[in-house]
Amino acid sequence: MASRINFLSVAILLAISAQANHADAIDYDLESLQALSLKDLLNVQVQTASRKKRSLLDAPANIKIVTAEQIKQRGYQNLIDILRDVPGFDFSNHYDGAGEYTSHSINRGIGGTPGNVQLLIMIDGIVQNHIAFNWSQPWGNQQILADIERIEIVQGPGSASYGANAYSGVVHFITKSAANTSGQRMSLLAGEHGTQSAQFMLNHQLSELRLQLAGRYFKRDGDSGLESYDPAGYFANHLFPNYQLQSYNANGYTTNTPHPFANQYQGAGFNNQSDDSALRGKLVWQNPHQYKRGIQLIKVGFNTWQQEQGLGSYVTGFEYQTRDASYKKHQSAQHYYLDFDYQYSPELILQTRIWQRENEQKPDTGFKYSYRFVDLIKSYHSVSEQRAFEQQLNISKLYDIDWQIGYRLMRSKKMGQVVSLGDYQIGQQASTSSDWLAAEAGLGLNVYSEYPLEHVDEQAVYVEAQGYLNDRLNYTLGMRYDHSDAYGGTTNPRAAINYNASQSLVFKLLYGQAFREPSIFELNDEFRGNPNLKPEQVRTTELVSHYFYEQQKHQLDIKTALYYSQEDNRIRLDISDENNNFRYDTSSTVSYENAKHSDYWGVTLDTSYTYNQNISAYFNYHYSDGDQDLAANALNHTTDHKINWGINYRVMPNLTIDLRANHLINRNAPTSNAYFDKHAPSLSLYNLVLSAPNLTISGINLTPQLIVKNLFDKQYTLVGRQDGASDINEYDIERNADPQGFTPAYHPQMGRTLALQVLVSF
């Protein structure tokens, strides 16, 4: 294949690099990649678990750290790459197939709804979830990794600290400290299917001010889905139907009329191109004299991204024109913030933060149907804004207890999706000059309509206390009250007890509650909306043990977790009739509803090992089960047994091999799935990264990498999102142009792909 990277060329480059003189270890070389030992990692000061920096062992949560070094070693490009190797996460799609949403994933049995709304994502403490729709973002290549210090992944409820959406867990991107970072860094990547990526991080000091700027550009032409495994032919070269169910022509609105493209092929595959960009920066002033009283920190920063991407295998390729250029999403987000820290005394610090956020769904987001309105684009647009003011008072050793007391005031403007048929809309008003619902009902193509625009005020107060009962026993207690104009008030507590059995063994008993309010999307969607939805609620109890062993050149870290979650009012699509039998997701029968009580339980084993800084390895295992909606059925879209493992081996000073694997055993599909009979086949995937560090040219440090995904070219699919009810066998160009169900039963996935990346620092 012309686009395939030549293995021989890459091997020659790696061999040349291995013979080159190497420079002192700086940012991208493998000396620094492997310098952080397991013991050092345990002492990293994490901040997501309790809004205060504490060591990983002392943190009152089940928390996993992914370091910048691991991101580079393993060739991670986005959050999906990272979480595939983390226990507890299951995906319905990897890099496309999510449609206008972000991704479809489940964390420890919870989630799977459009946009992963139960998972909170933050960058440096600023929430990234969509303001109106709650979608967690960014998951893809619009996330910058060049300036990341670490990613903290908290499993379990976090509403006591962060409010809504911190439901199944929290993913927190923490960027490098401008005060402790020097040098400039960049990376360049080229791969198959026209894949190109460039990232950079720049640092500059001007007197007492430090400036940090980072950015990313990513572009992929895509393979149009033609090299993805599609065993049932959902995206094969189907004929257009011979008739249109609905259309507009010179005679106005018509039904069951001849199709203008009858006997023509729609084209195989689906649009999976992508064009992403992101930029963020911060300007920091820190008090150089560390006065006992006065301003300690002033920081201003911003983050902005944009993504224009094909909708992939989101919907069936015979009912929608999935190869058409209009089949895409176009979204952007941005935030700005000001941080201000004032120290009254060494024991009393006031932290103030002001921020503004915006989410925008561009008017060229949309698609064309194949069985109706074939010449007209159904498009979506929206824009939502948010402003907030938060203060937190940190009090040390008051009655031998550390306290965090805070409040937050927030105002949001939330716009529902404005849906149009025909020309793309101009502007971002909460209205359309060509309303979809009116056009579908035969009322005309140019009907003006206004959509919901909510102004919501929210307030929150919280308190958290950490103290010691004795030398071995410490505790954390927290409580947060949130109130919203839209859903009223809710109180969420948390509690943690840490027992240090020895210097190398810690036990944690954790309890937390969380809530997630219904989004404006779920309340007002075009045909599934339900304005009477209640907030979701979850309660989780967890027992964690963490053991560390060190002897001479060996280091071993073992963490186990046993959890039990109880969920009420889960928001789901109602696909059952009054007798609890499956019914297809047609517009006349399906809506969002609050489900009955559900229970989830599971166990996790997470281990890491290093030997003499030349070999490092990890192994994790996750088992999950539960009773969903009071029924003892398998948890849909989850894997009963998931095993991840990886090994990083420095073969010689200038050549390192990183091999990782994911084993998904007993993948569960919903009973509505038209292709899988309750279970999808078990699956094993392998990824390889070859690194040749420390090539020095004129003082510039280079580390070329070969990144191979799906090393053994496995043909596989992922379980279809939501109900997966579409049945390709029901499609008939003469009699059934619109079969029941529009969600594919599976998502085709790519075979082996290759990319060459070069990491640069100077």
Per-residue pLDDT tens over the stretch 562-607: 999 999 999 887 665 444 444 444 444 578 899 889 999 999 999 9
DSSP 732: B
The residue among 163 and 605 whose pLDDT is bigger is 605
- Say what the pLDDT of residue 653 is: 84
Mean pLDDT over residues 713-733, rounded? 92
- Cα–Cα separations (whole angstroms), residue 202 to 70, 214, 283, 389, 707: 21, 6, 12, 29, 25
CATH number of 7-416+459-761: 2.40.170.20
- Cα–Cα separations (whole angstroms), residue 344 to 296, 300, 652: 10, 22, 53
Q: What would the DSSP string read from start to end of 559-626?
A: EEEEEEEEEES-EEE--B-TTS-B----TTT--EEE---EEEEEEEEEEEEEETTTEEEEEEEEEEEE
Per-residue pLDDT tens over the stretch 365-385: 999 999 999 999 999 999 999
Of 502, 614, 627, 503, nearest in space to 564 by CA? 627
The residue among 35 and 24 whose pLDDT is bigger is 35
Q: Give the dihedral sign, CA 82/86/88/91.
A: positive
pLDDT at 699 over 50: yes
Report d(CA 236, CA 608) in Å as an integer.
44
The residue among 72 and 22 whose pLDDT is bigger is 72
Report d(CA 639, CA 664) in Å as an integer.
6
Taking every pair of C-alpha atoms in the chain, what is the biggest distance, in angstroms?
Answer: 85
HSE-CB at 552 with a 13 A cutoff on CA atoms is 0
Q: ∠454-459-463 over CA atoms, to 5°?
A: 155
DSSP strand E in 221-346: where? 243-249, 252-258, 274-286, 294-310, 328-345
pLDDT at 33 over 50: no
Of 280, 307, 304, 285, nearest in space to 296 by CA? 285
Q: Strand 554-568 to strand 54-55: parallel, antiparallel, or no bridges (unpaired)?
A: unpaired
Determine whether 56 is exposed, middle or buried from the number of CB atoms within 10 Å of its CB (0-12, 13-18, 19+): buried
- Cα–Cα separations (whole angstroms), residue 86 to 280, 308, 315, 727: 26, 28, 28, 33
- Say what the pLDDT of residue 333 is: 97
Per-residue pLDDT tens over the stretch 543-552: 999 999 988 8
Q: Strand 110-111 to strand 348-367: parallel, antiparallel, or no bridges (unpaired)?
A: unpaired
- Measure CA of the first residue to CA of the last residue in the chain; give whole Å: 36
- Say what the pLDDT of residue 479 is: 96
Report d(CA 575, CA 569) in Å as an integer.
16
pLDDT at 357 over 90: yes
- Say what the pLDDT of residue 576 is: 53
Report d(CA 158, CA 160) in Å as an integer.
5
Which 3 state secondary structure label does DSSP give 511?
Answer: strand
Instruction: Report how far Cα 306 is from the mean position of its chain's Cα atoms.
Output: 15
Mean pLDDT over residues 243-248, rounded? 96
Tokens of 145: 């990794």
Cβ atoms within 10 A of the Cβ of 413, count? 17
Per-residue pLDDT tens over the stretch 255-272: 999 999 999 999 999 999
Q: ∠749-755-756 over CA atoms, to 5°?
A: 170
Report d(CA 439, CA 442) in Å as an integer.
5
Q: Please, where are the H alpha helices in 388-452?
A: 436-440
77: Cβ contacts below 8 Å, ≥ 6 apart = 141, 145, 189, 197
Report d(CA 203, CA 707) in Å as an integer.
28
Report d(CA 175, CA 295) in Å as an integer.
22
- Say what the pLDDT of residue 575 is: 60
Strand partners of residue 606:
559, 620
pLDDT at 745 over 90: yes
180: Cβ contacts below 8 Å, ≥ 6 apart = none
Q: Give the dihedral sign, CA 371/373/376/377.
A: negative
pLDDT at 1 over 50: no
Strand partners of residue 198:
188, 217
Residue indicated by tokens 């009907």: 447
Per-residue pLDDT tens over the stretch 288-337: 877 678 999 999 999 999 999 999 999 999 999 999 999 999 999 999 99
Average pLDDT of the chain is 89
9 band by pLDDT with thresholds 50, 70 and 90: very low
Mean pLDDT over residues 721-734, rounded? 92
pLDDT at 459 over 50: yes
Q: What would the DSSP string read from start to end of 316-353?
A: -TTTB-TTSTT-EEEEEEEEEEEEEEEEEETTEEEEEE
